[in-house]
Structure formats: C-alpha cells, structure tokens
Amino acid sequence: MSEDRFQWNTAANRDWLLDDARRQFAFFAPSLNPSGGFDYLDDAGQPIPGQPRELHATARMVHSFALGHAAGLVTDGKIVDHGMKTLWQQHRDNDHGGYVWSFDEEGRVAQGNKLAYGHVFVLLAASSAKLIGHPDADLLLDDIRDVIERRYWDAANARLKEEFARDWSEISDYRGMNANMHGVEAFLAAHEATQDRQFLDRALGIIRFFVGQQGAAHDWRLPEHFDAEWDTDPAYEGDPMFRPAGTTPGHSFEWARLCLHAWDLDGRRDVSLLDWARNLYVQADRDGWRQADGGGIIYTVDETGQPLRENRYWWPVAEAIATAATLLKLGDDRASDYARYLTCAEAHFMDQRVGGWYPDADRVGQQFTGKPDIYHSIQAVLYPLTPAISRLSDALARDVARGNAQ
C-alpha cells in the first residue's frame, strides 16, 4: 500500500481518511439501543451487557453523526434523532432540571450527579444538530443554555464550575480544566449555530485564562486541577480517566486546535492565539510522543515533563492528527508530524477490518472495555478533509458532501 496515504493533501490521503470515516460510522451505528441511548461495543461491535448509558457518550454520538450527516457520509438521521430524544426524555431531569450523568438498562437513573463536563457536551450536541437543521435543536439548545447559565457559569471569573449532586447541592469545591476545555468547544459550536457573540466571547475568555495565563506560566504544560479560588492544585488526583494527576499532552493538542478555531471565528484578530497554539503543540509533542514500538502519545506527565502514566491511548493521537492538520492549513510545516501520527494511528488503533479504533496501543485493558465512542477518532479523519479552520459542519457539507455527489 502506498505511503501516500499518510501524506498531507494527496488524493490517497483523502481516500484513506474517507474510508476510515465510513468504517467508523458503520461500526457505531448499531450501538443504538431502542430502549434509549447507545450501547458500548466490544471489539467486534457487539453490545457490552450491563453498561450504563452515559450523558457525554449520548451527546457525542449526536455531534459525531451530525458531522457525518453534513459530510454526506451518513444517509439517514436515525442516530441523531435517537440521541436527541434520549437527551431530552431520559437524561433530562424533570424533577430538578439539568441532565443526569447516566441511566441503566431499565431506564432508571444510575448516577444522578450533574457534571459540567456532561452538560457542555449537551450544548455541543444541540449546536451540531442545529447546524444540520434538526427540528428539536432549538428546544434542547435553549434549555441547556439556561442550565449552564444558572448553574455552572462562574460570572465573577468567567469560567465554568464543575459539579453538583442531582438536587444541585454542593458536593465539592473542585474546579477543572477539562470541563472548561470542552466548554470552549461547545461555546464555539453554539456561536456557529446561533451567531450569538456571547458564546464566542466566553470561549475566548476561558482560553485566555487556561492557555494565555496558565500555559505561559507553566512552560506550556497546562495545569488540570484547581480549587474553588481557581488556584492550581498540583497534588490533586481523582478519577484516572477524567481527572488524573499531572498534565495531559493530549489536552494540550486539543487546546491548540481550539485556540486556532476561536482565532478564526473571531476574524483572525488576536495573533497571540496563534502563538499559544503553536507553543502548546510543540510542548505536547515533545513531552508526549514515544517513538518506540510504533509510536504513540503517553497519557500524563508531571510539571517538568517526566512521565506519570505511560499508557498510549487512541484519543491523544486523534487530537494530534486534527491539530497538525489545522496547522498545515495555515501553512505551518507539520507534514512530517501529520504522517507520523497517521502511521501510528494505523499501526496501533485503526481496525481496518471491522471499523472503529482500539483504545490502547498496548491492548492492556486497564481502563477501557471494547472500543470507546466515535467522537475523537471521527474528528481526526474529518478535520483534514476540508481547508476550513472553523465551521467544520458547513465546510464538510461544501467540501466533502458536494464533492462526493459530483
């Protein structure tokens, strides 16, 4: 097989990306569970019994399949329709407002906590659904915007608070970078869907704190954990998936892409966003990349860049691909990086027979069962298909769906 498939801006690369995108959509489409939500799937694409239906996974399926719809790679609206219905009828809490984290196979609330992380993905889902014209998007968007405004928005600091119990009572004073990062992503999508400037301004403000201030002060290794006063908490360690100790190179790649996205939406006015993005990208690659055994990006490092958790998961490589592609669109010389990340993805993560991406390069099974949801991996193969920096949904409709129809 030709190495051209890894080379930026070649027909072979485009075809290879499209082939993987089609396999991913085909693999995850059967995860739809008629009783609500989506099943987690094993390596062969079979439902894993007893798994909860989680808010972020439901919302990310809506977002991902909305992108597929825009690109013309998904030919019906079943997944988006089902996900939107699940968000409104099963995750939405009619007693207390907001959206519960998970429900079980019988439809009963499994974990009722209200996490900012999950709620911003609901905003992302509603925005992505609106961008493809879904009839229920405005209802969901208006509701989730109100919940975020009343419950999570820390107006004094222009950032998102983290978590509450189901009845909105306080359960911790933790503040996290991760929820705010995905809040930026959701606010940018909401701005694209509504043209409301407030969403963009809030995204820019969050970026300036976490990247412009914290990144610059910590050698472009972003602190993950904060206390109620928004002071860094370097000793904190929580859930190993969502709140590990240390700093996460994969998140730095995501933040870099979001800086470029926001800069583009804001009329390319503030060049500091470009500098921040490049600094984050370089440091993340330097700290995270491991060439041995086919390559990969380790999960976490300490404040000096020394490894903490050396698992090589799929999602940091997926984010590195998308960010390298975005920098290439701006003329940066990142073609060798792009090829390196794609080579790693094919070697370790892509299942070119069944579809979907394996979660761990070492197949150790410590953190994940089966193949995780489509969100990171589908964006990795969709971002390089269009020259656009922002407004991906519109760009896919213009540059991919239209091209496939011709």
For residue 50 the two structure tokens come to: 């007893």
Task: Give the containing element (helix H, strand E) for 107.
Answer: none
Contacts of 136 (CB under 8 A, 6+ apart): 84, 85, 88, 129
pLDDT digits (tens, 9 = 90+) for 245-298: 999 999 999 999 999 999 999 999 999 999 999 999 999 999 999 998 889 999
d(CA 90, CA 377) in angstroms, rounded, equals 26
| Choice among 75-84, 152-161, 309-318, 359-368 with the minimum mean pLDDT | 359-368
The amino acid at residue 354 is: V
With a pLDDT cut of 90, the percent of the chain lying above it is: 94
d(CA 13, CA 122) in angstroms, rounded, equals 32
Buried b (16+ CB within 10 A) or exposed e, 31-51: bbeeebbbbbbeeebeeeeeb
Structure confidence at residue 106 (pLDDT): 92
- Whether the per-residue pLDDT at 365 is higher than 60: the answer is no
Dihedral sign computed on CA atoms, order 277, 173, 366, 305 = positive
Q: Nearest-CA neighbor of 48 among 365, 353, 364, 369?
A: 369
pLDDT digits (tens, 9 = 90+) for 194-207: 999 999 999 999 99
Structure confidence at residue 366 (pLDDT): 64
Q: Which residues are catalytic?
A: 251, 376
**What is the pLDDT of the chain when averaged over all its residues?**
96
pLDDT digits (tens, 9 = 90+) for 108-154: 999 999 999 999 999 999 999 999 999 999 999 999 999 999 999 99
- How confident is the model over 174-183, as a mean pLDDT? 98
Helix (H, G, I), strand (E, B) or coil at 163: strand
DSSP H helical ranges for 149-239 = 177-194, 197-207, 216-217
Structure confidence at residue 364 (pLDDT): 62
CA 309, 220, 181 angle in degrees (round to 5)?
75
What are the sequence ranges of the domains in the chain? 3-397
The torsion region of residue 48 among left (phi > 0), alpha (psi -120 to 50) and beta comes to: beta
User: For the structural domain made of 3-397, what CATH number should be given?
Assistant: 1.50.10.10
- How confident is the model over 47-56, as a mean pLDDT? 95
pTM of the model: 0.98
**If pLDDT is split at 50, 70 and 90, which confidence band does 362 have?**
confident
372/342: higher pLDDT = 342
- How confident is the model over 342-355, as a mean pLDDT? 96
- How confident is the model over 314-323, as a mean pLDDT? 98
